[in-house]
Amino acid sequence: MEFNKIKFSHSKNIPFYLELKLQVDEYFRQRGGFRKANTKMIIKMIVIGLLFTGSYAALLSNLLSTGWLFMVALLFGLSMGLISFNISHDASHNALFKSPRLNYIFSYSFNLIGVNRYIWNIKHNLSHHAFTNIPGYDMDIEQVRIARLVDHIPLKRIYRFQHIYVPLLYPFTSLYMVFLKDFQMMATKQYGNNAYINHPRKEYSILLVSKFIYFMYALVIPLLVIKLPVWQILTGFVIIQLVLGIFLAVILFPVHALEGMPFPKPDDDGIIHNNWLTHQVETSSNYGANSRILNWVSGGLNTHIIHHIFPGVCHIHYYNLTRILRSVAKDYNIPLHENTLLQALTAHLSYLKTMGRQKESVISG
């Protein structure tokens, strides 16, 4: 696809947004006006940190039986997912602290779990959040060609079965991100409206150094310390990655690429005929938004619509803000995409099946 800069045609200052912003501002005014991490969020970060360090220490202790090591390995993989969604993601949006410097420091927790902070930031913020579900501009919907999620990707026979084979590949999401994705993204020259980015040299160095540190603590040190056969330790490493991969896939994939979601395209002048806010509401989906447990585990990403409207607000507030969003949307007759987690996963598989068989997507607008 030929690259041209695109833009939205209307201002976000529409009655729905103004009323939503007014009620959200009032919500925070009644709570002291603080939109970043509160006491609950600090406690949550401590709990996640203890789970990560505690499970890692237990793995290296040589005090556990093989069965308990397996269980602790599962917890360790889960803790890395919790860090990603609850700490790294918020920090990358400057939503964790008032201090940009503190957010910058904590965003490096991405590197701690094998993901590159710099690549995540430009891919996620400059591409996905700015141009959600827009083919050719949102890298999250077409960064790998094992799946066809947009209709300008040529239709191949193999895609007819993607609703079967793609879910089987989702457990390998973490392995792909750790071993390949960041390096592929460094070679990418378009992120949203930004073309031919010259990545700073220091970011290449940080990428290599952080990957080295990750593999040292996640694989080399266990191989040196744990008194088990090498094959069992390597198996444990893979199990951790598979658990993390499943966790990442279940949380991330049911929020945009669903049957019935729009994938609008710009006109010949590069204009998306919509305002940015309405576009975010129309192209994002909630799942299990009434579940506090799912909200806690997912870092608020199950309340995804409010996240796309207010990405700079800490996710600890999303559960309550989603109630405000529903009320205002109802007053203005604006439909919201909301599902249970099972419905969202089913709609995602249905969309994979549709896109594996249609040359021109009926969903694209």
CA dist., res. 254 & res. 289, Å (int): 13
CA dist., res. 221 & res. 219, Å (int): 6
Residue 253: per-residue pLDDT: 85
Pair of tokens at residue 298 = 């997912």
Integer angstrom CA distances of residue 268 from 272, 290, 364 = 10, 41, 16
Residue located via tokens 């827009």? 134
Q: pLDDT means per 10 residues in the chain (365 residues)?
A: 75 87 96 91 97 96 90 93 96 96 96 94 90 89 81 88 93 91 85 78 94 95 94 91 90 89 90 92 95 95 96 97 97 95 94 83 41
Residue 1: per-residue pLDDT: 43
Residue 203: per-residue pLDDT: 93
User: pTM value?
Assistant: 0.91
CA dist., res. 306 & res. 286, Å (int): 9
What is the per-residue burial (b if ≥16 Cβ within 10 Å, else e) of 192-204? bbeeeeebeeeee
Q: Is 249 helix (H, G, I), strand (E, B) or coil?
A: helix
Residue 128: per-residue pLDDT: 92
Q: Is 253 helix (H, G, I), strand (E, B) or coil?
A: helix
CA dist., res. 82 & res. 201, Å (int): 30
Asked whether the beta carbons of 113 and 321 are under 8 A apart, the reply is: no
Residue 67: per-residue pLDDT: 86
Pair of tokens at residue 225 = 């310390």
Q: Strand pairing partners for 364?
A: none
Residue 179: per-residue pLDDT: 92
Residue 359: per-residue pLDDT: 63
CA dist., res. 301 & res. 285, Å (int): 10
Q: Strand pairing partners for 271?
A: 7
Other C-beta atoms closer than 10 Å to the C-beta of 112 total 19
Residue 360: per-residue pLDDT: 52
Q: What stretch of H or E contains 174?
A: helix 173-176
Nearest of 251, 318, 224, 219 to residue 84 by alpha carbon: 251
